[in-house]
Chain A
Amino acid sequence: MVRSVDVHKRFGRLEVLRGVSMEVAKGEVVVLIGPSGSGKTTFLRCINHLERIDAGRIYVDGELVGYREKNGRLVEDREREVARKRAAIGMVFQRFNLFPHLTALGNVIEAPIRVKKVPRKEAEETGRERLTKVGLADKLSAYPAQLSGGQQQRVAIARALAMQPKLMLFDEPTSALDPELVGEVLDVMKSLAREGMTMIVVSHEMGFAREVADRIVFMDEGVIVEEGPPEELFLRPSQPRTQAFLSKIL
């Protein structure tokens, strides 16, 4: 579903990604861990072209996102084409990024109506179903400011799912939440994983990673240091950097 080949990315002089290569199979759940500044979030944002890449290739479902290849070089796609490909990749942000001027339902139906041209009535109906599924049937007409962090993040997940994505990216979805609200968001993500959604999750929720992840990828200083199934990587990390990191967070 996702194939990344030797991806490089720099912000000015700072090289944030220094050759990231990984593959994610359809239906797989991959959890990205690593110290802050290791490039996890940047890599995630490169997958749906919220950031440009300087070298390498990222394919989603066999297609480059945001680029065409011309004579072996990357050429940025037209905006409409970029938008079309992004629509198939859902993203959930650390700070929710709900649209504050729209209700919960408004947040969920906006993109289906504008981007997919779904009739409003139909969009509202599926939107209500999606919000019900994340346990917010009674909050349809609430504005984001009236919702708790956990509720906001669940709306954000429903909003991303409303575009029927084939891949979901989660950028530290629970790290801005009060501890007692983390569980409700993780529950929604777990059930999504059980339904077979392909997911790449940047998170330090080790319980979630152990229970749901098919594979853990440890990044540091812009490269993938080590990867493997959770039990293996958590219990028997082979690299000293992984060991040092895990000893701090476990």
Chain B
Amino acid sequence: MAQVTLIEALTMAMAHEMAKDPSVVVLGEDVGVNGGVFRATVGLSDKFGPLRVLDTPLDETTIAGIAVGMAAQGMKPIAEAQFDGFVYPMVDHIVCHAARFRTRTRGRLTCPLVLRVPWGGGIRAPEHHSEANESTFTNVPGLRVVMPSSPSRAYGLLLAAIRDPDPVIFFEPKRIYRQYKEEVADDGEALPLDVCFVLRDGSDVTLVTWGAQVKEALEAADALAKDGISAEVIDVATLKPLDFDTIHESVKKTGRCVIVHEAPRTAGFGAEVAARLAEHAMYDLVAPVERVTGYDTHIPLFRLEMKYLPSVERIVAAAKRTLAAS
């Protein structure tokens, strides 16, 4: 088994599936000879050639539109958006077409594409390179919105996304692309979509998060443990469709919930989790739900960005507030 980073796990998954299934193709800006600006597609062009690892013109509309057309005609395109902030010209094709082909043709045409989106802040990048825009897509019927938080989940979830018969927006937390290595077997075993992963058992408070913030949530749980507080940590992994049952089961046990995400607070995906708790778990809760999120501002340029992103300190404080409340 190889020790790989999250981004190496992604490359491994794509290479595995491309070798197995000739309909799988990769397309985007700089994905070919250059291997992607983050090197996610490194080596794929040599292995599979320039038609299956396609450097497109510098136009996100082209990438999304071509991917939709290819997917409807029997290919499995993995399109790369290069950066989160460049996804907006793609939205028309994803929302109006990829997400709807199955419904509007009653299953005659489908759109099994994966849109890979390097996501989020914290890498000292220029403007428009640090967006947490997952809720742009979580309100769209027909899409799956997936975000891994470790090398093994990156491998297993990307395989599942490629094999899924419906369009998947696959957000990649670039802050943890190379944060640590993990043993990942290149065995072609996918992980299930549409389920949350409970990463740490606890009994006092539930920390619900996804993507890069999983790291801060686990560190917060460690810090809380030192104060005798037992925190359960849930990686949502598939935001849409949401596995609320796993969150609910946890909250039945802990009675407290802190939702952590990097995106702005208002109408961020945490609002959906909180609404579900209000609908289904009101009597299980012993304290108000807390949200630790990005602020309703634009993520600042990098001198201030770490003040914007949820920190271990903010998560610990929120968890303690839920304990103080009851």
Do chains A and B interact in one complex?
no
**A residues whose Cβ falls under 8 Å from a Cβ of B:** none
